[in-house]
Structure 1
Amino acid sequence: MPLLPIIKYPNPVLITPASEVLAITDEIIQLMDDMYETMVAGDGIGIAAPQVNQSFRIALVEVDEETGLFEMINPKIIKSVGKTIDVEGCLSFPEVYGTVERAEMIVLHYFDRNGDAYEVEAEDYLARAFQHELEHLDGKLFTDKIIQKIEPEDLEDYMEENIT
């Protein structure tokens, strides 16, 4: 399967709001398949279309096998509750890590590759991943929200000290 190049900051596509998907075509489905392969190859848990130089409101998230893969077309957060701070990284910012405040729980509405509408409630890590990817679709970057930068060599120690 072809892998797409991951766009790195400061490419302007990363700070440009993405366009809504108006029709789910074979090209859109192929893009999602290629995005998934690219995300897995990059050892990521999420990827947004702008990260592969495609300005569409498409994002994929797979935090673990239990929750499975979410392929989201035109996703929108319709509810958010609470606040939590945790560490994040990004495929478009290699070796950049930092703590970011996000909503603790969200409700998300999206369409899948078949055009079926879904609403999902997510908490904690899954909610964080959704919010991170959806911000890519709005041209927003996690680096603009970093509270505390964490050096790559300190990441493992930080994670061990802050696991609850």
Structure 2
Amino acid sequence: MIENIIFSKIIVDDYEKLTDIMTRAFNEDTSMHTKLKEDGPKGYNDGSLIKKLNENIRNTSMKILYKNEVVGAYTIYEGDNETFYLDMLFIDPNYKNKSLGKLTWQHVEETYRTAKKWNVETPEYSKRNHYFYREKCGFILTGEKIYEDGEKSYVFEKQF
């Protein structure tokens, strides 16, 4: 256990709580960096995204407990050639500035020691995420994606 943090498999009973946290986390990030008050990936605010991520057999989805309170979650999946993907990481905005994101990432790296490369994708506008992945976790910006709806995201990579 790292500084009162426990990581545990997500179960169906967690979906409602995690959807609430995910909704607040994405909406805070969106309102901080755009003119919108709320936005996020499809299904982030109705429970379908956390369900989809957790029930995909290729994924490993874990909830983050801090002092026995659920405060976030992450989802990992393994690709080819020892490349891993951080599909989702979110922390309750009420628990920001406690280094929970950084401590979670340290846990992920320790858990997945066989990884030779990590990839993560985050919205173009999300400057706080860019800083976190670059400065706190050691990722480098390697590309960008533009989706059909015009939304743009940045791809970050970390190699070992």
Shorter chain as denominator, the TM-score bin is under 0.3
**TM-score, structure 1 length as denominator?**
0.25
**TM-score, structure 2 length as denominator?**
0.26
Which structure is higher in RCO with an 8 Å CA cutoff and minimum separation 6?
1
